[in-house]
Amino acid sequence: MIEIIPEWALTPDDEAQIAQLITLCFGDDFDNRSYHRHRPHLRVILRDQGQIIGHIALLLRPVRLGTRLTETTGLAEVCSHPDHRGTGIAGRLLQTAIRHARTAQTEYIILFGTAPLYAGHGFTRQTNILTFVDLAQNRTTAIISEPAETLMVLPLRGQIWPDNAPLDMLGPLF
């Protein structure tokens, strides 16, 4: 059964399991954290016999899209345990994350990734000029402004994504 857990309700065991899964999936322990750059607002997880085998983080985040401040839901740390890949876990978690994001006061879901899974769920690749704070070893290193290479967007309210508007993340990427 898929669970949606608010960040404040994560148990220490959940946090440790998510950190372990992220390390297994991404090959980086993110300094032994259960998130990469930002602590998310919600986690969408799937367990098998008590062990977390699938995970998506949801972050509520305002961004500047052109001249307008726009509320978004960001997806991050999308991963499935390697022993369970190919069984539809990521797709089920993504469907749940999208359904849940539609209840928030956000206009778009955005993520940075290239997996075909995202396009299969309606996300489109965008190449807006992207401005963000670059981080290395949990320190601000630069402000980067460049065409987006892995930005994918899903409108939640039927609106059109302005593909020629600059996108300022107002901080680091997810």
Alpha carbons 55 and 149: distance in angstroms, whole number: 24
Residue 84: inside a domain, yes or no? yes
Q: What is the pLDDT of residue 32?
A: 83
In a domain, 31, yes or no: yes
Per the structure, the count of domains in the chain is: 1
Say what the pTM is: 0.92
The Cα 143–Cα 74 span in angstroms is: 20
Give pLDDT, residue 5: 97
Three-state SS for 49? coil
Establish if 41 belongs to a structural domain: yes
| Residue-wise pLDDT tens digits, 122-144 | 999 999 999 999 988 778 999 99
The domain of 137 spans 2-168
Segments of the chain scoring below 70 in pLDDT? none
What backbone torsions phi and psi does residue 98 show, to the nearest 5 degrees?
-65, -45
Is 129:166 a contact under the CB 8 Å cutoff?
yes
Query: Is 107 contained in some domain?
Result: yes
Amino acid at 18: I
Report the length, in residues, of the chain.
Answer: 174
In a domain, 173, yes or no: no
Task: Give pLDDT, residue 127.
Answer: 96
Give first-to-last CA distance, the chain, whole Å: 26
d(CA 108, CA 112): 13
Q: What type of residue sits at position 73?
A: T
What per-residue confidence (pLDDT) applies to 138?
79
111 CA to centre of own chain: 5
Residue 35 lies in a domain: yes
CATH number for the domain spanning 117: value is 3.40.630.30
Contact 64, 72 (CB under 8 A): no
